[in-house]
Amino acid sequence: MALALPPPTQLGSAIPPHVPHAVSVTLPTWKDNVDYEEGVARVHDAMVCGYPRFFIHPEIKKVFSIPIVLLATWCEKKFAKPTESCMLFPSRSVAERCRAFIKRYYKPESDLPAPRLAEFNILPPNPADPHTPPAQLHIVLYPADALPVAKQFWQHVGDNVSSRFAEYCLRILEANERSANPDGSQNDTTTTTTKDPAENPPSTPKRNLRYYQRPPSTPTVPTITPTSRRVSVSSSPRHDDEPTDHEHTLYVEERYGRNLGLAFADGVKTALRRRIAGVWAEEAGAGNLSERGVGGVSEEDVYLFPCGMSAIFNAHRYIMAATEAEEGPVAATWKSVYRAILVWFLGISPIRAFYQSHPPPLSFPYTDTLKILQKFGPGCHHLGHGDARSVAELEQLLGSGERVLVLFVEFPSNPLLKSSDLHRLRELANAYNFFIAIDETLGCFVNVSVLEHADIVVSSLTKIFSGDSNVMGGSLVLNPNGRHCASLRRVIKDDYEDLLWCGDAIYLERNSRTFRERIAKVDRNAEVLCDYLKAHEKGV
């Protein structure tokens, strides 16, 4: 019989408790919630974790912390000038976008060095070893005063390193240091090679604790090769026969939690994409209907991202690029014509001058989606109610000659649970040739069927899909029958990067095996709660 532990009640404690990568935090009172939104120190100082785009995880804080001799200390001491800070990303293209964002929005009072990039490659001695895949960090070095601007990019875009990825980098660097200095001493040399693991991993999936004690030693080979002092990442020696906390955790998760190993990452991501596509047959025929109610949808139409905002941000990028491709010779002037529409906390992108916006302030939007449309595209109109009045306003806007790039809409909206007239919006999109992107996070495709009305469907996998509040993820699904599918597919083929860390994918796959059963339970409980509130509405 499983023992259900009570949820934590102390302000700032992690949900779930005692989990190193929890993404939720306890705010037990209404005042705690208000004070959190207003940035009151007593709340923020009490938080031991939080949602990663708003709260820098302790493992990533280690990476950013100069006093602690860890990964970013290495990066800053080797690459940064005294007046610079750094931010880490999983790919060069993301780092370049961050650099461009800082250059655009950071306005120093005096001349300071422009933001610049460096790369830090962490390569195993045996590249074929599936249990120690290589890792690569892309470092944006910027004036320390530009941190508020850099944090905006981190929060809005979502293409960030995860806490598990940071932990993995730190762990193999620590193993590398132990291998180079078995007595715990620190000398002034740069490690370039280490020994291979003592033995190959067993072929059978049945593994004992000794298997998890293999030292995954890896060298650290930076793209920019410094020759000065070496930085320590461990404080004390450890004997090879002493299992670490990580080894214990890995053993428990794989032996009892049914986690798959890193060697199965590709298969894990395929399983996730099939699960998100709603396809269960061994081979999906072109005419088969998935759970999404669209014929021909398969895992090939599903793309994974580090979080939901990353899926939204990249959906917007892909739509801008696809519009440019479809417009042909007109592409050179499209940025001065089109714009986005934000309906119910998301929106529409008009095609008029970049970073100009005329949002009717009818309601509050989901902050980061609105910021994406304002700061990374041609601006947006915000139609906040998403009701018949908003649709009429949209029709009037279109009739006036306004060119619309894309309409973003949540279905249902968060947190007011409104549902837009998708049939009418699709008719307008077909008539005026704009894209529709729908965020289905709150409803999930088990409860809502929206793909047939959209060109792109995005979702945060961190919420109900995962359900365990210990991993981030996002998804983007193309409508294979959409009128813009071909151009979107070409753009994504050339531009898409799989930035979902394999360790996070493993937890997403494990957690989501029961998501249908969990959603059914949530639906039943929500109905009971609604019935109760309706029966007592005068006293609530």
User: Closest Cα to residue 322, out of 312, 313, 334, 311?
Assistant: 334
Classify residue 32 as left (phi > 0), alpha (psi -120 to 50) or beta: alpha
Q: How far apart are CA 429 and CA 484, in angstroms?
A: 11
The predicted structure's pLDDT at residue 415: 76
Neighbours of 388 (CB within 10 A): 11
Tell me the two tokens of residue 16: 């779930």
Contact criterion met (CB below 8 Å) for 293 and 350: no
Contact criterion met (CB below 8 Å) for 434 and 337: no
The predicted structure's pLDDT at residue 384: 75
Kindly tell me the number of DSSP H helices and DSSP E strands found in the chain.
Answer: 17, 14
List the beta bridge partners of residue 383. 343
The predicted structure's pLDDT at residue 372: 75
Reported residue count of the chain is 540
Q: How far apart are CA 65 and CA 42, in angstroms?
A: 22
The predicted structure's pLDDT at residue 205: 36
Judged by DSSP in three states, 74 sits in: helix
Query: Would you kindly state where each structural domain of the chain is located, as residue ranges?
Result: 14-50, 86-195+209-228+243-257, 299-516
Phi/psi at 418 (5° precision): -85, 155
The predicted structure's pLDDT at residue 174: 79
Q: Which fold has domain 299-516?
A: Aspartate Aminotransferase; domain 2 (3.40.640)
Query: Digits of tens for pLDDT over the chain (540 positions)?
Result: 455 667 778 888 888 777 777 888 888 898 988 888 788 888 877 876 655 444 454 444 443 332 223 566 667 777 888 889 888 899 999 999 999 999 999 988 778 788 999 998 887 656 677 777 888 999 999 999 998 999 889 888 999 888 888 888 888 777 777 777 766 554 433 333 323 333 333 333 333 333 333 433 333 323 333 333 334 444 444 444 444 555 545 544 454 445 566 667 889 999 999 999 985 433 444 455 556 667 788 999 999 999 999 999 999 999 999 988 877 533 444 444 556 665 543 345 544 322 223 333 233 445 667 777 777 777 778 887 778 888 888 999 899 988 888 898 889 887 778 888 999 999 999 999 999 999 999 888 889 989 999 999 999 999 999 998 899 999 999 999 999 999 999 999 999 999 999 999 999 999 999 999 999 999 999 999 999 999 988 766
The predicted structure's pLDDT at residue 135: 87
Exposure b/e, 111-133, CB count within 10 A at least 16 = b: ebeebebbebebbbbeeebebbb
Q: How far apart are CA 64 and CA 74, in angstroms?
A: 10
Locate all alpha helices (DSSP H) within 214-264, ordered by sequence: 245-255
The predicted structure's pLDDT at residue 5: 67
Neighbours of 245 (CB within 10 A): 8
Strands (DSSP E) contained in 230-288 are none
User: Treating both helix axes as pointing N-terminal to C-terminal, what angle do 92-105 and 147-157 enclose, rounded to 10 degrees?
Assistant: 130
What is the gyration radius of the CA atoms in the chain, in angstroms?
Answer: 24
Tell me the two tokens of residue 174: 């620590």
The predicted structure's pLDDT at residue 293: 65
The predicted structure's pLDDT at residue 11: 86
User: Closest Cα to residue 464, out of 515, 503, 398, 415?
Assistant: 515
Prediction pTM value:
0.78
CA-to-CA dists, residue 335 to 323, 343, 379, angstroms: 10, 21, 10
Contact criterion met (CB below 8 Å) for 405 and 349: yes
